[in-house]
Structure 1
Amino acid sequence: MPELHDLTAVQQLDRLQAGDLEPIDLVEHYLSRIDRLDSGIGAFVTVTPDAARAAARTIAAGARWGPLHGLPFADKDLVPRAGVPTRFGSRLFVDHMPDVTGDQAAVWDEAGAISLGKTATPEFGLTGYTETLIGPPTRDPWDARNGAGGSSGGAAAAVAAGLLPIAPASDGGGSIRIPAATVGVIGLKPSRGRVPFATGLDGPAGLVVAGPIARTVEDAALALEVMVAGRPYRHATGAPGPTAFLQAARAGTARVRVGVTTVSPWDDDEDIRLDRDAAAAVDVASALLSDAGNAVEALTWHPRGYAEMFRTIWRASAARVAVSEVDLARVEGITAWLVREGRGLGAESVLGALAAATEFERQTIAAFSSFDVVLTPALAETPRPVGWFDADDALENFAQQVRYAPYSSFVNVAGLPALTLPVTTAADGHPVSVQLIGRPGAEATILAVAAELERRAGIDVRPPVWTR
């Protein structure tokens, strides 16, 4: 007899909507797993059992109904929720209690989902690993010696370990895809402008968007439909068009042209060394997609001048963090460095980098235009041990993050949709993922291709902790 967490999010939702499962039963199941297992994972920074049970009773009474009726989730700890501590992964905000719930949390509430608390994130979501000074590190459920990636490390680890069926997250340079690939689940970064409450259009270079982390492609498609439909557009650009994401994921039979590359825009600046398991995963995915009837061929791509442009934009983005000069002494070293560096940039430097980002977007879309989907590695290296990222040398810390995940940030700069999914396993059984990049607004295409790839790969993505 399968446990409730053995069911996909879609299967759980079907049972909830049919009345075969009560919201309170699902809430209690996941609260129990969090209580028993999370001390060894560190996926959650706050658990809110009383609020979750109250929400389950409200939904069961028919007072709330929506497309995620009774399905548990958790907020990333960058998203305000009224009456629940929102710490942004920082000692400066350990006592911060918002009065207003942010749009991302509200959209999931209005869809009938039930928040169980807050998932861990690095300080202000600035790094690709989730190890902070306010709590234990977030660990890979496959191997607790390793970190879970970041910045949505808590969300990814919770889904991978069966502590949540699905989770919302955000991605400004790989923050959905890096942890999802690290722990072997699905991570979907939408196009710039696709999700109304987190379009990316209101930030420097349009980097940060919201998207889902899930166990299956179908579950990710379900979550994306809810996130896109959850708010009317506030901007004149970025209108979403059709949102048949679930239909595309369920069809899973797209016949498309796939370009394959292991080139990264960081290659000219950093010593990027592709792990052999990561390279093998690209080969496996290429063969599976070819067997499915897709036209698969090598993509020739030679990006130039990316590194300094992105470093400038990332530092400029950090300059906006609401931290005084005095308080910088209390934040983590990489945070203080990024903020100070950003605040020291001149207008000419920042504007030049933003112009270069726009040109990079155009050049990348043109370079990829012959293909419906571009296939790359998800990560260049195997999951990194907890404590591996240098806490004392900010420059080396940043370089380590680039060497670990050189295929992520450029997709944000180009504004393209991308999805990571596991397609094979390493010798130790750990899943190894690839990345699928789509054309602007073409989430449905990458979901269809990913679903076909998921079905053909057929790997078991349940870590040992799953059955405890």
Structure 2
Amino acid sequence: MRQEEYAGLTATQLAALVAKGEVTPVEVTCAALERTALLDGDLRAFCTLDAQGARAAARAATAATAGGPLYGVPFAVKDLIATAGLRTAFGSPAYADFVPDQDDVAVERLRGAGGILLGKTNTSEFGYSATGLNPLFPPTRNPWQPDLSPGGSSAGSAAAVAAGLTPIALGSDGGGSVRLPAAFCGLVGFKPSMGRVPAYPGCRDERHPGVSSWETLEHIGPLTRTVQDAALAMSVLAGPDPRDRHSIPGGDVDWPAAAEPGSLRGLRIGYSPTLGYLRVDPGVRAVVDAAVARLERDLGCTVEQADPGWSDPAEGFWACVAADTDLRGLRRLAAAHRDRMSDYVLDLLDTPWTAEQLTDGQSTRRAVANRAARYLSDHDVLVTPTCPVAAHPLDRGGPQGLTPGQWLGFLWPANLAGLPAISVPAGRLADGRWVGLQIVGRHLADATVMRLAAAFEQLPRSSGSPASM
């Protein structure tokens, strides 16, 4: 299999080819590693590539001649998610040489389904920034326009999928870190309902300050090129695990069926282009307005423009992050590594958080969750832009002149409320930058979110090739 052929195939297609015996896991993995060697020197999607381990796993899979739903399919894992025996640095000098003693549940499940782990992808330090930048590894570039950010914090995972290095990559989303890079890289990024995909030891292991953070906000989800591939990944990832107290029973979602477009006539869409408090770039607004019009015109959905009614939760969101953080332990680490740690991590640690601020954060969470529930009792889904702006230059720590709350504000509510949310490509600006459409559903209504995303994906749209391909 040539690397060009490999890059054009989805995970679903690769799994079918391997299952039919038309190509072996070794051939697929060699093509993946060849493409990575060709492109990743400039792209920097991977921070730790495990070529030797991938080849060994592929040989074992080929010898077995049969496997699970991902048999022979390569995948990559964000460097915030633990991988047994493979360096997981969390983007931080404090863990530069850390090697976990166990896989995260999500990695364990992908391997168990026959997937071939290629390596770890770049991320912001401990995931505390949406830029994808950290002090340990070179910055990851956007494959479509290498001078732009791919978004974060799952920067490397998005870049790897967009450039065709892997058809599936795991990301983690505590405040939009799957959906934002999906929007900036023209991908599908799915954040399932809280508890659908167990997280352990990530966010849960008290032995590792910084790693054991974001417990009540974090969701693990796939970045893919198609909704069908996201559903394939979720069919493996979803289901409870006793090590995660937030995990929920599975079986109520037929993931492959959810990705098959069907009639959505009469589906009630609430469209909020600003959430009532965000400023949106006019070009982004025009692309999203046009996409929403197609949901009504081409799919037969009923669209009502209406804001959900919560106030800007930015201050409360960061208080929830702080409450999830081992401040004592991470401050102790920062004392030893301060001169090499990111400003965004140090800013949170240097804030003299009060009990009132932390409890106000919980009140904000409740207010968003309650208003979202009321809004979604009158609408089947909430649709918004994924981000009010398109990708910014790589050398900036975010869009110029905007606070994190101003450019990440569409993302945080779904984390605060634990709701399923997906970003799908809505279209592109005149300069080629991608714009994402976000679909948010009721708690546990993951199938509805995926069905609408799949139906929208099937509508004709323009396409292109990443600049690095």
Normalised TM-score (structure 1):
0.91
Name the SS for the 2:64 alignment partner.
coil
Q: Give CA deviations for 1:243-287 in whole Å, capped at 9, x if unaligned.
A: 21211211343331111111237x2xxxx4311221112212212
Distance in 2 of aligned mates of 1:288 and 1:233: 43
Unaligned 5+ runs, structure 1: 391-395
Name the SS for the 1:59 alignment partner.
helix
Match of 2:168 in 1: 166
Is 1:421 the counterpart of 2:427? The answer is: no
**439-448 or 297-306, larger mean C-alpha shift:** 297-306
Distance in 2 of aligned mates of 1:236 and 1:123: 24
| Contact 1:192–1:200 (Cα < 8 Å) also in 2 | no
Percent identity among equivalent residues? Answer: 35
Name the SS for the 2:98 alignment partner.
coil
Unaligned 5+ runs, structure 2: 205-212
Write the mapping of 1:262-281 to structure 2, written as runs, cut at 5 A. Answer: 262-264=273-275, 267=277, 272-281=278-287
| Contact 1:200–1:207 (Cα < 8 Å) also in 2 | no
Name the SS for the 2:151 alignment partner.
coil
| Equivalent residue in structure 1 for 2:26, among 24, 27, 34 | 24
Match of 1:184 in 2: 186
Match of 1:378 in 2: 386
Match of 2:411 in 1: 408
**411-420 or 280-289, larger mean C-alpha shift:** 280-289
Distance in 2 of aligned mates of 1:449 and 1:233: 32
| Contact 2:104–2:201 (Cα < 8 Å) also in 1 | no
Distance in 2 of aligned mates of 1:90 and 1:223: 28
Change (3 A) 1:184 1:335: same
Match of 1:393 in 2: none
Cα distance, 1:461 vs structure 2: 5.4
Distance in 2 of aligned mates of 1:22 and 1:224: 24
Change (3 A) 1:84 1:205: closer
**328-337 or 168-177, larger mean C-alpha shift:** 328-337
Change (3 A) 1:377 1:56: same
Distance in 1 of aligned mates of 2:91 and 2:249: 32
Distance in 1 of aligned mates of 2:248 and 2:34: 41
| Contact 2:262–2:451 (Cα < 8 Å) also in 1 | yes
Distance in 1 of aligned mates of 2:137 and 2:215: 31
Match of 1:251 in 2: 261
Distance in 2 of aligned mates of 1:230 and 1:414: 19
| Equivalent residue in structure 2 for 1:430, among 428, 433, 439 | 433
Amino acid of the structure 2 residue aligned with 1:54: A
Distance in 2 of aligned mates of 1:330 and 1:429: 35
Distance in 2 of aligned mates of 1:273 and 1:372: 25
Cα distance, 1:381 vs structure 2: 1.0
| Equivalent residue in structure 1 for 2:372, among 354, 364, 369 | 364
| Contact 1:199–1:208 (Cα < 8 Å) also in 2 | no
Cα distance, 1:115 vs structure 2: 0.5
| Equivalent residue in structure 1 for 2:290, among 284, 295, 302 | 284
Is 1:15 the counterpart of 2:17? The answer is: yes
Cα distance, 1:239 vs structure 2: 2.8
Distance in 1 of aligned mates of 2:383 and 2:312: 22
Write the mapping of 1:194-233 to structure 2, written as runs, cut at 5 A. Answer: 194-197=196-199, 206-229=216-239, 231=241
Change (3 A) 1:169 1:23: same
Write the mapping of 1:319-338 to structure 2, written as runs, cut at 5 A. Answer: 319-320=326-327, 322-324=330-332, 325-327=334-336, 328-338=338-348
Matched residue count? 454
Distance in 1 of aligned mates of 2:452 and 2:286: 19
Cα distance, 1:215 vs structure 2: 0.1
Is 1:293 the counterpart of 2:296? The answer is: no
Amino acid of the structure 2 residue aligned with 1:259: G
Match of 2:208 in 1: none
Write the mapping of 1:137-176 to structure 2, written as runs, cut at 5 A. Answer: 137-176=139-178
Match of 2:321 in 1: 314
Amino acid of the structure 2 residue aligned with 1:296: V
Cα distance, 1:141 vs structure 2: 0.8
Distance in 1 of aligned mates of 2:111 and 2:380: 34
Distance in 2 of aligned mates of 1:397 and 1:287: 30
| Contact 1:436–1:450 (Cα < 8 Å) also in 2 | yes
Cα distance, 1:196 vs structure 2: 3.0
Match of 1:464 in 2: 467
| Contact 1:23–1:71 (Cα < 8 Å) also in 2 | yes
Cα distance, 1:398 vs structure 2: 11
Amino acid of the structure 2 residue aligned with 1:207: L
Change (3 A) 1:398 1:58: farther
**85-94 or 456-465, larger mean C-alpha shift:** 456-465
Distance in 1 of aligned mates of 2:79 and 2:443: 29
**152-161 or 297-306, larger mean C-alpha shift:** 297-306
Q: Give CA deviations for 1:342-384 in whole Å, capped at 9, x if unaligned.
A: xx32333312321331232112221232111111001111211
Distance in 2 of aligned mates of 1:258 and 1:129: 31
Distance in 2 of aligned mates of 1:217 and 1:434: 13
| Equivalent residue in structure 2 for 1:355, among 363, 367, 388 | 363
Q: Give CA deviations for 1:318-337 in whole Å, capped at 9, x if unaligned.
A: 44464515123431111111
Match of 1:125 in 2: 127
Distance in 1 of aligned mates of 2:87 and 2:244: 28
Amino acid of the structure 1 residue aligned with 2:430: A
| Contact 1:263–1:302 (Cα < 8 Å) also in 2 | no
| Contact 2:32–2:165 (Cα < 8 Å) also in 1 | yes
Distance in 2 of aligned mates of 1:409 and 1:365: 15
Amino acid of the structure 2 residue aligned with 1:303: W
Distance in 2 of aligned mates of 1:178 and 1:209: 14
Distance in 2 of aligned mates of 1:117 and 1:464: 23
Normalised TM-score (structure 2):
0.90
Cα distance, 1:310 vs structure 2: 1.4
